[in-house]
Amino acid sequence: MLIVPSLVFFIVFHWEPLLSGIVLSFYKTEGYRAVQFIGLQNYIDVITNSVFQQTLVNTFLYVIWSLIIGFLVPIAAAIMINEMRMFQSFFKFAVFFPGMVPGIAAALLYVILFEPGAGGILNALIGKIGLPPSQWLQNAQLTIPLIVLVMTWRSFGATAIIYLAGLQGINHELYEAASLDGAGVWRKLRHITIPQISSFVGMLLILQVIGVFQVLYEPLTMTEGGPNNASMSLSLLSYQYAFRYFQAGQSLAVGGISFVIISLITIVYYLINKKDRTD
């Protein structure tokens, strides 16, 4: 009985729209109304679109950059906070605080920071040391890494708190025994800390990949997918199909493709993880 309200909420607001969206993706739509069953035509139209093809590449670039920039940050933050003897509560709040900032507000904050003109905050700062101004978000090579940087700033705190909970659950006798055997900081980290939180690492890794595949606020607010679709994400493309071009069928086809990709990645991860545990 205690879980019935949450279960009803989950069915009504998650599964019912999901299933309805999958069904609607097989129909020709006028606005948001299904008018004719067309099978896989929406999916074919989307996949053969050059914008979608570039967006798919962009999305995998988002994932790669998120692993390069953001994967180790929460682990490092959690380890440092765990080793603190003073002000630990303050730093827990400090790393979690950016996650309390609404996504749109955080993105707008960084739009001001990355203003490409000479009056932009970052350009003004680097101008003080004699460097030329940069185009930042208008530079197609920098757009995705900068957006991932903003995503990392917002989200690493909550992940760090989860890692911290795992670290604080490690038996301290393991560290004491390692110290008696002459193990240093790095050997303790390699042979005790990392293995003990490996289950958290795997779980949060797949959640990070899923979250990055669904990135919307940052590219929508900071670049609108530009320049020249260089920062377009699958979620943003689906949003534009639905609310800019009013092509609900193709929007839901993009969502369906995203769902399939995420499901395949998750299945592959769990198969690998299951095999490792068996071995």
| Three-state DSSP class for residue 141 | coil
pLDDT at position 279 = 59
79 phi-psi bin (left φ>0, alpha ψ -120 to 50, beta other): alpha
pLDDT at position 231 = 92
* Per-residue pLDDT tens over the stretch 4-63: 988 898 888 888 888 888 889 999 988 788 889 998 999 999 999 999 999 999 999 999
Backbone angles phi, psi at 171, to 5 degrees: -65, 120
CA angle, corner 176, sides to 170 and 177, nearest 5? 100
CA 82, 87, 89, 93 torsion: positive or negative? negative
Backbone angles phi, psi at 117, to 5 degrees: -70, 175
User: Could you tell me which residue, 279 or 231, shows the higher pLDDT?
Assistant: 231
Alpha carbon separation from 64 to 47, 145, 257 (Å, rounded): 22, 10, 19
Residue indicated by tokens 């940087």: 149
Which pLDDT band, with edges at 50, 70 and 90, does 276 fall under?
low
Residue indicated by tokens 């390699």: 190
Which pLDDT band, with edges at 50, 70 and 90, does 278 fall under?
low
Q: What is the rounded CA–CA span in Å between residue 151 and residue 63?
A: 11
User: Could you tell me which residue, 108 or 277, shows the higher pLDDT?
Assistant: 108
pLDDT at position 234 = 92
Q: 218: which 2 tokens?
A: 């940052």
Q: What is the rounded CA–CA span in Å between residue 99 and residue 183?
A: 36
pLDDT at position 210 = 87
Average pLDDT over residues 218-240: 91
Q: 58: which 2 tokens?
A: 């962009």
State the DSSP code for 27. Answer: E
Homologous superfamily (CATH) for 41-278: MetI-like (1.10.3720.10)
Report the chain's mean pLDDT, rounded to a whole number.
87
Backbone angles phi, psi at 141, to 5 degrees: -75, -25
Which of 126-130, 142-146, 165-169 holds the top average pLDDT? 142-146
Q: What is the rounded CA–CA span in Å between residue 269 and residue 205?
A: 10
pLDDT at position 277 = 62
* Per-residue pLDDT tens over the stretch 76-123: 898 888 888 888 889 989 999 988 888 888 888 898 899 887 778 888
**8 Å CB contact between 138 and 115:** no
Average pLDDT over residues 261-277: 78
pLDDT at position 143 = 93
- pLDDT of residue 178 exceeding 70: yes
Which pLDDT band, with edges at 50, 70 and 90, does 275 fall under?
low
159 exposure class (CB count in 10 Å sphere: 0-12, 13-18, 19+): buried
* Per-residue pLDDT tens over the stretch 236-260: 999 999 998 888 999 999 999 998 9
Domain range list for the chain: 41-278
**Cis preceding linkage at 5, omega within 30:** no
